[in-house]
Amino acid sequence: MLNIRITNRAQNTLAALFVSITIVVFGFLIMNVVYLTAISSTVDRISSENNIDSESYRQFSNSLENEKRRLSFAALVMDIKNVLEIYRPNTGGMNYMDFAYLIASESFEKGIDPYLVLAVIKTESSFRRHVVSNKGAVGFMQVLPGTAFYVSDMHDNINLENRSDLFDPQKNIRVGISYLAYLLNKYDNQKYALIAYNMGPGNLQKQIRSGGNVSEKYYRAVMTNYERILRISNRTS
């Protein structure tokens, strides 16, 4: 019994230490972003006041901006990782930091809010990797195989050979984000894009043409999860 109590106490201590380290690292990244923003603002002001327009200044300014973006992205990855640790998805051997990086980088590449992607995953699968819907949609982002192969054919970095590939977290996330980006671009309307993600663009177009009311139930569910995830991240919409 004594050994068990000591082990549990040690585990609790390690868990508390890990949380403390995560908070410190995340705080350090945020402080660096704020610091670099302040430096950049000061340099811009001095440049404006002294009418500086030299190549060296432009290089320095670009370097500061690149460092700000790098640190902001690192802070975002840490933030997504913290969200994942709450929902605890089965990522098939990927650690949460790598999975967070995947979601952040794919979202940024496609110009999508990564927190919206997290909200779609929560709504579609509750972060369950192996779930299959009664219509055959697969994995984290619940993508239909036909849709997945269509998306795969449009992107060189996505290679799908069969339906089971959609259980692979990396391929599922890449396909799902690419498809969501396609719909956002197609409709230029977040509400319709999300509804189309759920019911399919063809079915949405039929409802719009028929003049009937388009159900917003799925859209509201995604936005509810979006607000919840923002609160978890101490952000506001």
Alpha-carbon distance of 38 to 227, in angstroms, equals 30
Q: Judge whether 173 and 140 are in contact, CB under 8 Å.
A: yes
The two most distant CA atoms of the chain are separated, in Å, by: 74
Per-residue H/E/C for 66-118: HHHHHHHHHHHHHHHHHHHHHHCCCCCCCCHHHHHHHHHHHHHHHCCCHHHHH
Residue 227 a catalytic site member: no
Q: Judge whether 25 and 78 are in contact, CB under 8 Å.
A: yes
Pick the catalytic residue from 67, 124, 161, 227.
Answer: 124
Alpha-carbon distance of 81 to 162, in angstroms, equals 29
Q: Which residues are catalytic?
A: 124
